[in-house]
Amino acid sequence: MHTTTAGRKTAFKAQTKMTTGLAISQEFVSGTLMPLLQQELADDFDRLAIAIVGTGSDVLGLDDEISRDHHWGPRANVMYLRADAPRVADQVRAVLSKVPPKFGQYDVQIDIGNLTGVCCCQIEDFFGRFLGTEQLPASDLDWVRLCEVDLFHVTAGTIVYDGPGELTRRCDYLAYYPDAVWRKRLADWCMYVTGREAPYNLHRVAKRNDDLTCTIYFGLCIKRLMELCFTLNRRYAPYTKWLNRLFRNLPNYADQLAPMIDAAVAEPAWNKKVQLLIDANYVIADALADLQLCPALPRRKFDDSLTDLSLYDAAAHIYSQLPEELFSPSFNQVELWEKMAREVLFDSNDYIKNGHHRKA
């Protein structure tokens, strides 16, 4: 999602014409922050990395007027290697303390604990904070232990400057799963959309006239389908709020799946929703065959008992080609954002904690 040079940018574009937080942050970094750092750390400036990364719609260029009520405005993550911290950390903090409280009409928030606003940290700590480990995954099982949404957070955004090159190196390494892990993820998500969070269970609870559970399963089915489309495109899926927006920008298969999903959402009858979701699963099956991950799957007649087994055979074929160690473990799906959200409660410098988001 990044280029490999300074100033690399996320592939996702804002869908509004307003000035985005990303554009404001880039202007802030180039016009205010970098000149200050270059002036105060003349001999050590090349030991710094400056990035607009982490959580938030503005990192992705997806922010809008709704986004501006909290954790929004000029932001920058100034980072340095742990080995350089004794020499540069205090200098960087001193520079941040000199940053004007306003950039144009926008408030500048300094040192918020969840790494929004303008802050500094060790490069190693940035990855430890978002991934739960400072170490890059060395094996396929290490990759499975990382949460996809957390990987999305550390690889999205913009690196404005990277003197040591370490931030770029790590982001490039984490850009996407290695091949075997990618194939396992495809197989696991095939099992979801054809077995558990799938037309199968939706059909069965619909026959029991349980509309609430139908609604739950339907939403889960759609979510898994979109996540699976991201995997087919070899891209990390974001957290739920931005899943639909970014799904529709995917270069492959979304143009086929999106109309089916939209039709299923609009369709009032559960039995017809089930049929549309089965059709969507066959789009997935055709995609897997096109990618030569499994043989082409013939269309089966609807089975009122088992409903849809379209992707079981695909999953079985993919699993059979994987290293044995990847068969049993499940992907970690617990976002470290949950821990960060709890920490906000006790961060006296946080934008929400101080009530700055409340309007008069």
Residues 143 and 34 in one domain: yes
Strand, helix or coil for residue 50: strand
Residues 93 and 213 in one domain: no
> Looking at 29-43, 66-80, 163-177, 207-221, which range is the least confident one?
66-80
Residues 169 and 225 in one domain: no
Question: CA dihedral defined by 257, 230, 158, 167, rounded to 10 degrees?
Answer: -170
Residues 184 and 322 in one domain: yes
pLDDT digits (tens, 9 = 90+) for 47-92: 999 999 887 777 777 666 666 656 667 889 999 999 999 999 999 9
Q: What is the pLDDT of residue 215?
A: 97
- Asked if residue 270 is part of any domain, the answer here is yes
Q: How many domains does the chain have?
A: 2
> Looking at 31-35, 113-117, 202-206, which range is the least confident one?
113-117
Tokens 């927006």 locate to: 245
- Asked if residue 36 is part of any domain, the answer here is yes
Is the pLDDT score of 98 beyond 70?
Answer: yes
- Asked if residue 352 is part of any domain, the answer here is no
Is the pLDDT score of 358 beyond 60?
Answer: no
Q: Which helix (H) or strand (E) holds 121?
A: strand 118-122
Residues 103 and 185 in one domain: no
How far is the CA of 1 from the CAs of 144, 149, 174, in angstroms? 20, 14, 10
- Asked if residue 141 is part of any domain, the answer here is yes
* pTM reported for the whole predicted model: 0.87
Which residue range is the domain that position 97 belongs to? 21-175+337-344
Is the pLDDT score of 17 beyond 80?
Answer: no
Helix axes 254-266, 270-290, angle to 10 degrees: 170
pLDDT digits (tens, 9 = 90+) for 222-281: 999 999 999 999 999 999 999 999 999 999 999 999 999 999 999 999 999 999 999 999
Tokens 């969507």 locate to: 280
Residues 163 and 184 in one domain: no
- Asked if residue 313 is part of any domain, the answer here is yes
Best CA proximity match to 217, nearest among 236, 196, 191, 238: 196
Residues 207 and 146 in one domain: no
Residues 63 and 94 in one domain: yes
Best CA proximity match to 247, nearest among 276, 227, 265: 227
For residues 118 and 99, the answer to whether their CB atoms sit within 8 Å is: yes
Q: What is the pLDDT of residue 14?
A: 39
What confidence tier does 24 reach under pLDDT thresholds 50, 70, 90? confident
Is the pLDDT score of 121 beyond 70?
Answer: yes
